[in-house]
Amino acid sequence: ELLRSAYLSSLRLASAKGLKSIAFPAISTGVYSYPLAEAAHIALKTAVDYLREHTDIDLVRFVLFDRRTYDAFVEALKALL
């Protein structure tokens, strides 16, 4: 729930500030060793759910450190769509 809240708070703040785009890393998957597949699912589901309800943000970008992280996010996105 804390990870979801971090993404959701950031998205809400971006909307409140009138931003049209926002970029995220894979929060908590480095030093904090949060399980990558679960983190990817939480990040993407939170963003997708938010964007379905709020059309003010045009672009959410995930800036990912390596191929392993990228692949985890691709798989999580496939499962969501």
- Predicted local distance difference test score (pLDDT) of residue 81: 87
- Predicted local distance difference test score (pLDDT) of residue 62: 98
Q: pLDDT tens digits, residue range 6-62? A: 999 999 999 999 999 999 999 999 888 899 999 999 999 999 999 999 999 999 999
pTM here?
0.93
Task: Name, in order, each residue with C-beta under 8 angstroms of 63's C-beta and a sequence gap of 6 or more.
Answer: 23, 24, 25
| Residue-wise burial string across 3-34, b where 16 or more C-beta atoms lie within 10 A, e elsewhere | beebbeebbeebbeeeeeebebebbbbeeeeb
